[in-house]
Amino acid sequence: MHSDNFWHQIEKPVFTLAPMEDVTDTVFREIVLGVSDPSCLHVLFSEFMSTHGFVHAIGGPRVKHRIQINDSEWELLKKTGVKIVAQIWGTDPDKFAQTAREISEEGKFDGIDINMGCPVRKIVKQGGCSALIGMPELAKEIIYATQEASSVPVSVKTRIGLKKVVTEEWIGYLLETNPVLITIHGRIQKQQSEGLADWDEVAKAVALRDSMGSSTLIHGNGDVMSYQEGLEKAKEYNVDGIMIGRGIFHNPWFFNKEIIERSPEERLNLLWKHSHLFTSTWRTSKSFNILKRFFKIYTSDFYGAAQIRAKLMETNSMEEVKIVLENLDYELDLL
């Protein structure tokens, strides 16, 4: 076990923001971090990055943006003490080792997480992510190779099965490799994001861990819509932590002890800050349309929000967003 194993040093339950494609880039992480209580948000995850792309001489630059950390985010991480973990995926243990070695040697990430849970069909067809549930020996090889190459703690994020639930069998395999943490999304791959997450299966994984006498931490993930609900789930299902995914889309102020009614001004100022930071970070390297998926987060739960959102969805630049916001009857800080 790493002497700098921060996972075991955080007071339980640990709250983390899930790795999400085209969501948890350095920009959105900084936005969330800036409005969160550091005692309620402990660990951020990067988007998931392909190990194949990372080690490829030509493809490398195309995927490295997924683990980019802006200087402003870095300063905020240092100030708050919140940790950051790089999530990686692939099918080749050697590429995992090379990627893990380079990331951990760079010294910015506190941990490395292996994606064995993403349910997207095109990735599963390649044998990556949740497809590894059906290939436990390869999954083990990947974990061992990553652990051996990494100088930071290695964790795994996964699901409770592929076409059917195989929680105890699958988690049993993973526990044999002694990852520092297993985060379990309570759905099978076939469900994608449909239906309800099965937290009873997450609890089975905890019981199995305990019966094996393992020191691996178990976190649960799925359908947690408030910080308070996360605390209740942690207690009810005996998990060491809670990972928040789609819950952040309902409330960017999720990671705070109290639920406070946020004014339209607060919401729209945060939307502007996000738009400005997104544009200054990515310029033309990322489509402005990626930003639009966030607009609903900030334009909801207040009178006239739907009309504002409709106008914002027609914009194609930060300048156009500013024009829309300037024409509203709110006192906004649009510097």
Q: 90 and 24, same structural domain?
A: yes
Question: How many separate domains does the chain show?
Answer: 2
Q: How far apart are CA 15 and CA 219, in angstroms?
A: 9
3-state secondary structure of 215: coil
Just list the catalytic residues.
Answer: 118
Q: 209 and 90, same structural domain?
A: yes
In-domain check, residue 144: yes
pLDDT of residue 260: 92
Q: 284 and 157, same structural domain?
A: no
88 beta partners: 49, 114
Q: How far apart are CA 325 and CA 335, in angstroms?
A: 12
Q: 276 and 234, same structural domain?
A: no
Instruction: Compute the radius of gyration of the chain from its Cα atoms.
Output: 20
In-domain check, residue 335: no
Q: 237 and 298, same structural domain?
A: no
Among 191, 219, 250, residue at a domain's last position: 250
Range of the domain at 294: 264-326
In-domain check, residue 333: no
In-domain check, residue 258: no
Q: 273 and 206, same structural domain?
A: no
Q: 298 and 155, same structural domain?
A: no
Q: 60 and 203, same structural domain?
A: yes
In-domain check, residue 15: yes
Q: 281 and 192, same structural domain?
A: no
Structure tokens at 251: 């409330």
Q: For the chain, which residues score pLDDT lower than 50?
A: 1-3
Q: 118 and 69, same structural domain?
A: yes
Q: Tell how far CA 333 is from the center of its chain.
A: 29
Q: 147 and 11, same structural domain?
A: yes
Alpha helices in the chain (DSSP H): 26-34, 51-55, 60-63, 71-80, 93-106, 121-125, 136-149, 167-175, 199-212, 227-237, 247-250, 264-282, 289-292, 295-298, 305-312, 318-326
Among 227, 250, 273, residue at a domain's last position: 250
Are 311 and 324 contacting, i.e. CB atoms less than 8 angstroms apart? yes
Among 217, 250, 283, residue at a domain's last position: 250
In-domain check, residue 334: no
In-domain check, residue 1: no
The predicted-structure confidence for 85-109, as pLDDT tens digits, reads as follows 999 999 999 999 999 999 999 999 9
pLDDT of residue 237: 98
CATH number of the structural domain spanning residue 210 = 3.20.20.70
In-domain check, residue 222: yes
Q: 238 and 281, same structural domain?
A: no
- What pTM value is reported for the model? 0.96
* CA end-to-end span of the chain: 48
pLDDT of residue 4: 61
